[in-house]
Amino acid sequence: MLPNIFHNGRQLSRIFQCTLQMYRQRSLTTGVNEIPLSKDHYNIKRGPFSVATDADIKHFESILPAGNQILLGLEETVGYNRDYFKYVRGLGAIVLKPRTSEEVSNIMRYCNNKRLAVSVFGGNTGVCGGSIPVFDEIILSMDLMNRVESIDKYSGILVCESGCVLGKLEEELAMEGMMMPLDLGAKNSCQIGGNVSTNAGGIRLLRYGSLHGSVLGLEVVLADGTIMDLMSNVKKDNTGYHLKHMFIGSEGTLGVITRVAIACPTATKTQNVLFLGLRDYSSVLRTFLECKACLGEILTSFELIDRDALECCIEHLRTSSPIGSYPFYVLIETTGSSKQHDAEKIRDYLEHVIGHGIVSDGVVTNEPSKITKLWQLRERIPEATYSNNFCLTFDLSLPLKNFYDIVPAMKDRVGHLVKLVCGFGHIGDSNIHLNIAGDELTPEIAELIDPFVYEFTRKLRGSISAEHGIGLLKPKYLKYSKSAESIDLMKQLKLVLDRNGILNPYKVLC
Ligand code: ZN
């Protein structure tokens, strides 16, 4: 059995468990007006949309007669015009907060008739600028659509409105002995509608799969105001095309998600975290294979951290590693229903991988405070790398055999010009985060990185955005993961569902 040791690190709050997708970091203390307007920064031309008039505002007031449902003027709407990371900025001077699907429908019908563009706003935790207006789009905030409609503990199904905060849903479900199938560091801010719209991944995906599997049904308001009832309370339903999938991950460009039915697992009772050191990447792969074979149904997360990523995180957090220095580390989490059963499985697993020389060193714990500290060594890597003057970050899906190749390849290209090139991420989901950080991002460095990373990913038939989406920041890179025919079909679908292009313009598709 491995020693259950741990060095005391500074207790720090959870911020984000996944890497934050930002092309260039901007300090979180940057003033709002210092953030360049997205339209200028990305050189975007305004679409052929109307400009809202006083008559339009009067009409919105008739649709939303209750108080606190409309905000007017850039001072009032400032929080809706920049992302959490202050990376994109828009000029939307009208925020509408509907309370019902009918109100959303009335707003959309009116905006469609008047050719007013609309940007849908959730918890503002997206990392690709997908929910922030670019020009003067009407901002549709889902904050007030936050009712839990039903929790069926027998079928394991939650039905709620799209503005429900993920963490609140987790609390409601816990009272019924259930849990959400997804978990994000941003769970106390992000909304389930935004999670579905962006097909959020998170740290439970290895165990419970993506939202394409968990979401049983949706209610969506289309651009012309049509309320599409795609709700379903059953897990098996083979009747025709499953239109819900079009809206999952469509980032608000095809419709406004207003209600969600989602399959939720029974809450787990036990939790263990293992933090292991490995001498090379082939040992990481062998450890993962053995992990799946030995831990099976209790495996929840399998995360990779390379030496440079851990050292950067440790320096930033002013903490230390619980084990010696190795080229690679993996963080494994298990959850289950029996403490004894899980402990036996973990013991057998560790004896096997250590006995065969696959794993060099490690610690294991089931104490909540130690679990939190171990997770921080993974969760806070992005924040640590962003403490440099610039940090480029990539969110790639790559086949596991070649998962880590991008890191040494990038070191060869720019390692002598920057301070840090590191790799970490979700081995269990084949999703690596590549971060490159330094003092100054010169054109010479930028040219060595882009489009190399995207071409590298395309050659391996990977994805240039594994879990963060396309939003405003990456439409021009979509072609590296989707064929011209696929993009053309996406554009046709967009036209069918949103003939006037008023829904979340400038996002996802160029
Ligand atoms: Zn991630």
Distance 298 CA to ligand 1 centre (A): 21
Instruction: Name residues of the chain where pLDDT drops below 50.
Output: 1-29
Structure tokens at 227: 């309320």
Please name the residues in contact with 108: beta carbons below 8 A apart, sequence gap of 6 or more: 118, 221, 222, 223, 224, 225, 256
Interval between CA 295 and ligand 1 midpoint (Å): 22
Distance 492 CA to ligand 1 centre (A): 31
Strand ordering across the sheet containing 138-141: 70-72, 94-96, 138-141, 118-121
CA–centroid distance, residue 395 to ligand 1 (Å): 7
pLDDT one-digit tens code per residue, 388-440: 888 888 999 999 999 999 999 999 999 999 999 999 999 999 999 999 999 98
477 CA to middle of ligand 1, Å? Answer: 19
Measured CA to CA, the distance from residue 205 to residue 213 in angstroms comes to 10
Q: Are 130 and 507 in contact (CB under 8 A)?
A: yes
For residue 321, how far is its CA from the centre of ligand 1 (angstroms)?
A: 21
- Up-side HSE of residue 437: CA atoms within 13 Å toward CB? 24
How far is the C-alpha of 177 from the C-alpha of 353, rounded, in Å? Answer: 34
CA distance 445 to 439: 11
Q: 18 CA to middle of ligand 1, Å?
A: 3
Q: Which contiguous run of DSSP H or E holds residue 271?
A: strand 270-278
In the reported structure, the alpha carbon of residue 434 is separated from the centroid of ligand 1 by a whole-number distance in angstroms of 11
pLDDT at 32: 65
**Inter-residue contact 253 to 504 (CB < 8 Å):** yes
DSSP E strands, 344-477: 361-365, 390-397, 420-426, 431-438
Residue 120 near residue 191 (C-beta atoms within 8 A): no
The torsion angles phi and psi of 404, rounded to 5 degrees, stand at -95, -10
pLDDT score at 355? 93
Q: How far is the CA of 22 from the centre of ligand 1 (A)?
A: 13
CA of 19 to the centre of ligand 1 (A): 5
User: What is the 442 CA–ligand 1 centroid distance (Å)?
Assistant: 27
CA of 302 to the centre of ligand 1 (A): 12
Residue 310 is predicted with a pLDDT of 97
466 CA distance to ligand 1 middle (Å)? 8
- φ, ψ at 358 (rounded to 5°): -80, -40
pLDDT score of 87: 79
Measured in angstroms, how far is the CA atom of residue 426 from the centroid of ligand 1?
6
Distance 176 CA to ligand 1 centre (A): 29
For 38, 310, 446, 505, the CA distances from 42, given in Å and listed in that order, are: 6, 33, 16, 14
Distance 82 CA to ligand 1 centre (A): 22
User: Is the CATH code 3.30.465.10 the one for domain 148-263?
Assistant: yes
Q: Pairing mode, if any, of strands 138-141 and 157-161?
A: unpaired
Q: What does the alpha-carbon distance between residue 262 and residue 160 come to, in Å, rounded to a whole number?
A: 9
C-alpha of residue 306 to centroid of ligand 1, in Å = 15
What value, to the nearest 5°, has the Cα angle with vertex 487 and ends 481 and 493?
A: 135
Domain range list for the chain: 148-263, 270-381
Distance from Cα 403 to the centre of ligand 1, integer Å: 14
Residue 184's pLDDT is what? 83
The fold adopted by the segment(s) 270-381 is Alpha-Beta Plaits (3.30.70)
Ligand 1 centroid distance, CA of 203 (Å): 8
The pLDDT value recorded for residue 9 is 27
Cα(17) to centroid(ligand 1), Å: 7
Between the CA of 66 and the centroid of ligand 1 the distance, in Å, is 40
Helices (H), 251-329: 281-295, 307-317
Q: Which two tokens stand for residue 294?
A: 């030995």
CB-proximal residues (5 Å) to ion ligand 1: 18-19
C-alpha 143 – ligand 1 centre gap (Å): 25
- Centre of ligand 1 to C-alpha 147, Å, is 29
